[in-house]
Chain A
C-alpha cells in the first residue's frame, strides 16, 4: 500500500514529458520488427516452395534425380541433404577439437598480454569474408590438400578403404569440409572462450587446492561446468557450416543428381545452399525455381532447429552460472 503511494508521488515527475510514450512506442516497434522479419522469412520461403511440394509432395525430400529440362522436370533434395551433412560433419570433426584447444589456451593458459593479441588475430580470421576463403581455397589451399593429404591417403588406403577410393582432385567434400572447419573455428572458439570466462574462479581454486595440475583443473572443474555451453557453441558452428554458400560453391565440385551423393571422401558433391547459388539465376522454369526455394525451405528448417537448440543450451549455461546477473 505504501509502495503504491510512493509511485503516485512519482507520477508528476515521469509525466514531465509527453514524448515519453511516443518514444516507447517507437522502441517497441523497432523490437517488433525482429519478429516481423522472422514471420516474413517463414512466409516467403513457404510461399516460394509451395509449388514444388504440391507437385512432388514429400517425395521431394527422398528423390535423388535433378532434371530441369522443361517437360521432363523431376526434382529431389536427398543428395544435397546428404552432401550438406557430410561436408559439415567433416568440418565439425576437425573444427570443434581445435576450437576447444584455442579457447582453453586463451582463457586458461595464456598471459593477459598474449591473450589480447591472439584473440584479436582470431577475430580477424572471423572477419575474412567467405568468398575470399573460397577464392583462396580454389587457387591455393586445394593444391596443398591434394599434394600433402589426399594423395598420400589415397596411395596408402585407396584399395582397402572405400573412404579414400576415388582419385583425389581437390574439388571434393573433403576439401570443402576442411575449409569450412577453418571458417567456423574462430566463431566456435570465441564463444567457448567467453563461456569459459564465466566459470567462477572458486571452481578453479577448489581444484587447485586439492593438488590438481592446470590440465586436471581444466578437466575436472572448468570443462564440466561449461559443458552445455560448449555443446551450444559447437551447434552454432554447425549451423554456420550447414548454411555456408560461397566457399562451398567454389570447391565442392558441383555435382547434381545421383552423382552428388558422396561415395568417398574424394568425390564431388553439392550442398543445399551451393545448388541454390549455382542455379538460381538460370532457373529454367517456375517449377525449377520453386524446387530451389524448396531446398531453401529444407535448409531453413534445419538451421532453425539447430540454432534454437544451440541458443537454449548457451542461455541455460549463462543463466545458471550467474544467477541474477545481467549477461
Chain B
C-alpha cells in the first residue's frame, strides 16, 4: 500500500517536473520569438529609413555645388555646355502650382463641407462622392495628363499653363475634399448645437463656427496636397511640355522643376546631371520646407491652445 502511494507520488513528481520543463521551454521559446519579431520590426524600420537618408545626403551633397545665383535665375544654356540655370523651371512650378491651387482649394473645401455637414449618413450621392474621391486619389497621374491633353491641349491647340494647372487640380481636389471632411468631423457637435440654439443660419454656423474651428486641419490638408502636386511630373509632360524660356502667356508652354530634372537625367552629360542634382535639391527644399514648416507651425499652435485651456 505504502509502496503504491510512493510510486504514485513519484509519478506525480515526474509528471510535475515534465510539465514544468515543458512550460519553461515553451515560455522560453515564446520569449525568444517575441524578441525576434521585435528585432525584425526594427530592421524593417531601418530598411525604410536608409533610402531617405541616402536621398537627402546625395541630393544635398551633389546639389549644393551646383547652386549659385546664376543657376537660380538664368535660363538654361545650350545643351551640354553646363552654363545657365533653372530660373524658368522654378518660375513655372510656382505659377502652375498656384493656379492649380486656386482651382482646387475652393472646390475641394466646399465638397468636403458638403460631405461632413450637409450629407446625411445614408445619402447615396454623398457615398458615391466620398468613394470615388478615394478611388481618384489612387489613379495614376499620367492618366490625368492624358485627360488634360485631350480636353484642353487639343481644344486650345497648344501645350499650355492652363492645361498643366487643370491636370494638377484633378489630382489635388480629391485629396483636399477628403481631408476637409475628416477635419470638419472632428469638430464636436456641441459647438454646432450651441450656434443653432442662438438661431444662426446653417451657412453661418458652417463657415464661422465649424470651418473656423477646423482651420488648422484643413490648411494642413491643403499644404500637403500642394507639396504632393509640386513634385508631379507625368501629367506635365503632356500639358506644359517644358521650355527653356520664361513664362509668356497662360496659353503657352512653360517649364517646371520636376520636368527639368527628367530632361536633364536623360542627357548624357556630366554637367547636365550636376544641374539635375541642383534642381532636385531646390524641389526637395520646397517640398520638405512645406512639410516641416507646417509641422512646426501646427505644433506651436497646439502648444498655444493647450496653454489656453
Contact = CB atoms under 8 A, between A and B. Distances in A.
Interface of A: 13-14, 16-17, 19-20, 23-24, 26-35, 37-38, 40-41, 44-45, 47-48, 97-102, 104-105, 109, 118, 120-125, 127-136, 138-141, 182, 185-186, 189, 213-216, 218, 236, 239-240, 242-246, 249-250, 273, 276-277, 280-281, 293, 296, 299-300, 303-304, 306-308, 310-311, 315, 326
B118 interface: yes
Nearest to B151: A44
Contacts of B135: 38, 304, 307-308, 311
B88 to A, nearest CB: 17
Interface of B: 30-31, 33-34, 37-38, 40-45, 47-49, 51-52, 54-55, 58-59, 106-111, 113-115, 118-119, 125-126, 128-129, 131-136, 138-144, 146-147, 149-151, 170, 173-174, 177, 185, 196, 199-204, 206, 224, 227-228, 230-234, 237-238, 241, 258, 261-262, 265, 273, 276-277, 280, 283-284, 287-288, 291, 295
Contact of A136 (B58, B109, B132, B262): B58
B96 to A, nearest CB: 14
Nearest to B284: A132
B25 to A, nearest CB: 14
A273 B110 contact: no
CB-CB nearest 7 A-B residue pairs? A129-B231, A243-B140, A101-B44, A17-B201, A30-B110, A105-B41, A27-B114
Nearest to B126: A31
A120 B58 contact: no
A45 B147 contact: yes
A255 B44 CA distance: 33
Contacts of B128: 35
B167 to A, nearest CB: 11
A307 B138 contact: yes
Q: DSSP class of B's interface residues: helix, strand, loop or mixed? A: helix
10 contacts: A34-B132, A40-B147, A44-B147, A135-B280, A239-B138, A280-B149, A296-B146, A299-B142, A303-B138, A326-B185
Contacts of A109: 38, 41
B118 A44 contact: no
Given A27-B111, A213-B34, A281-B237, A102 B203 contact: no
Given A41-B147, A135-B261, A243-B140, 17 more contacts: A24-B118, A28-B114, A30-B111, A32-B129, A40-B147, A44-B147, A44-B151, A101-B41, A132-B284, A186-B48, A215-B38, A240-B138, A245-B141, A246-B258, A250-B262, A304-B139, A311-B131
A132 B33 CA distance: 39
Nearest to B204: A17
Given A121-B49, A129-B287, A14 B202 contact: yes
Given A24-B118, A37-B170, A307-B134, A129 B232 contact: yes
B143 A243 contact: yes
A26 B173 contact: no
A136 B55 contact: yes
Contacts of A185: 48
A195 B88 CA distance: 43
Contacts of A97: 44
Nearest to B37: A215
A215 B54 CA distance: 32
Q: DSSP class of A's interface residues: helix, strand, loop or mixed? A: helix
Q: Which of A27, A35, A134: most chain B Cβ within 10 A?
A: A27
B142 to A, nearest CB: 5
Nearest to B31: A213
A131 B138 contact: no
B118 A244 contact: no
A122 B134 contact: no
A125 B111 contact: no
A236 B48 CA distance: 18
Contacts of A236: 138
Q: Which of A20, A136, A239, A310: most chain B Cβ within 10 A?
A: A136
A276 B146 contact: yes
Contacts of A242: 140
Nearest to B138: A307
B221 to A, nearest CB: 13
A189 B241 contact: no
A48 B150 contact: yes
A123 B287 CA distance: 12
A105 B46 CA distance: 11
Nearest to B35: A215
